[in-house]
Structure 1
Amino acid sequence: MHQILNSTSRSTFLKQVTGFTAVAILSVSAFALPSDRNQPISLVADKATYNDKTGITTYTGNVVIEQGTMKLQADSIVAQLNSKREIQTITANGRPSKFQQQISAEKGVARGEAQKIIYNADSGIITLTGNAYLFQDGASIRGNSLKYSMNKGDIEAQGSSSNRVQLIIPPSSSKSFPGARD
């Protein structure tokens, strides 16, 4: 009887480890570029739980996920799978949650942070809420919430009366514009 329980426990443990690994890989791949997807994934957290019935995986306690140039840091990350065991949503919560990734060789590292970062795999939209901030190549945008469409490249910023949307656009170094005295 004892060996049967050990065998059952080992089987359950292996299923959970497989579930953790699958969600970690899918979580990072949702944010990663094709070049990053070929890199190993590193996930560090104080605690990880996986519920096979609900398809919810939770990582808590100084969570850091890295793959290639992509890095995601948060106090907690929750991944929700759909019925096909594919990522439906990823929610990162922190004070703040942070991410960064090298978008291309020509562009600098893109960085973002917010109290909450939600990635919706169906729509390809990343929503940053709570003192949201995005920065790349000297340009930045800040607001209460930011929505970025990975599919379209569109961004929408929302502010409030006390926290208005702020954009910083660097001057173009490749173009020269005539000044008032020219």
Structure 2
Amino acid sequence: MSLQPALARQDDRNQPIHVVHAESFDGYNQPNSISTFTDNVLITQGTMKLTGALAKIYTAKEDTSVDHVIVTGTPQKRPHIEQIDDNGNLMTGDADQLYYDNVNGIAILTGNAIVHQQNKGDAHGAKLTYNTQTSYMVGESNGAGPVTMTFLPKQKPLPPPKHGAAPATSPAAPAKPAAKPASSSSTSAPASASSASKE
């Protein structure tokens, strides 16, 4: 199953990756290496955030740029991803494991995966693959139950008031002015109207 909604964030992949928080760190920043971050890990790249109990960052073979990130967690703190798209809508995803391909901007969520797209809908499956640049998504069940989708309806503006409701307020306003000028101006107005009609 696949879904292709509107624009995702186009420029996040060009931003630096920051490990904003972790309780411990093991590794070094060299080509073709692995750095491990544990406990309350928060990684950001532009508007995208990755959180989990443990994250492994794999650098490219030829330099120290990030090739991919694998985030794992616990039942109490599952791996989480979120990103704000170019329209200001928030995408969130949770799974038992999160694989983020930094080269192609692809997030692969496996194990009871859920992706929620604000104002668009939800996807559930054993494996959800989400393109962080285009919002293109593919879902797979892998024999662990069906893939499900929820599509939200387009939010429509409230309809204007019906014709019966508007006149109910308008007669009340003229009723007061008509009662006041009934003594003087109301008699002269019909007279001029009748004389105009006679001419």
Query: Is residue 21 of structure 2 the alignment partner of residue 44 of structure 1?
Result: yes
Counterpart among 86, 94, 97 of residue 79 in structure 2: 97
Give ranges in structure 1 of 5+ residues lacking alignment.
1-31, 176-182
Give the whole-Å Cα distance in 2 for the aligned partners of 1:78 and 1:173. Answer: 40
Q: Deviations over 1:3-32 (max 9, x none)?
A: xxxxxxxxxxxxxxxxxxxxxxxxxxxxx8
Q: Compare CA radii of gyration and give the structure with the larger one.
A: 2
Give the whole-Å Cα distance in 1 for the aligned partners of 2:83 and 2:16. Answer: 13
Q: Deviations over 1:55-113 (max 9, x none)?
A: 11110111123466432210111011112222111111113101212112x34211111
CA offset at residue 154 of structure 1?
2.4
Give ranges in structure 2 of 5+ residues lacking alignment.
1-8, 158-199
Equivalent AA in structure 2 for residue 127 of structure 1: I
Query: Greater relative contact order (Cα 8 A, min sep 6): structure 1 or 2?
Result: 2
RMSD: 3.0
Give the whole-Å Cα distance in 1 for the aligned partners of 2:92 and 2:67. Answer: 23
Q: Is the 8 A contact 1:131 1:144 kept in 2?
A: yes
Q: Is the 8 A contact 1:107 1:137 kept in 2?
A: no
CA offset at residue 53 of structure 1?
7.0
Query: Is residue 136 of structure 2 the alignment partner of residue 154 of structure 1?
Result: yes
* Structure (1 or 2) with the greater strand fraction: 1
How many residues align? The count is 143
Counterpart among 128, 147, 167 of residue 109 in structure 2: 128
Give the whole-Å Cα distance in 2 for the aligned partners of 1:158 and 1:132. Answer: 10
Distance 1:78 1:35, change over 3 A: closer
Distance 1:70 1:171, change over 3 A: same
**Which residue in 2 is equivalent to 1:165?**
147
Give TM-score, length-normalised by structure 1: 0.66
Q: Is the 8 A contact 1:36 1:70 kept in 2?
A: no
Give the whole-Å Cα distance in 1 for the aligned partners of 2:58 and 2:13. Answer: 22
Give the whole-Å Cα distance in 1 for the aligned partners of 2:136 and 2:113. Answer: 16
Taking only the aligned residue pairs, the percentage that are identical comes to 22
CA offset at residue 174 of structure 1?
4.5
**Which residue in 1 is equivalent to 2:41?**
63
Distance 1:109 1:59, change over 3 A: same
Give structure 1 regions of 4+ aligned residues with deviation exceeding 2 angstroms. Answer: 32-42, 51-54, 65-71, 121-125, 149-154, 160-163
**Which residue in 1 is equivalent to 2:123?**
141
Distance 1:41 1:168, change over 3 A: same
Give the whole-Å Cα distance in 2 for the aligned partners of 1:34 and 1:142. Answer: 26
**Which residue in 2 is equivalent to 1:81?**
59
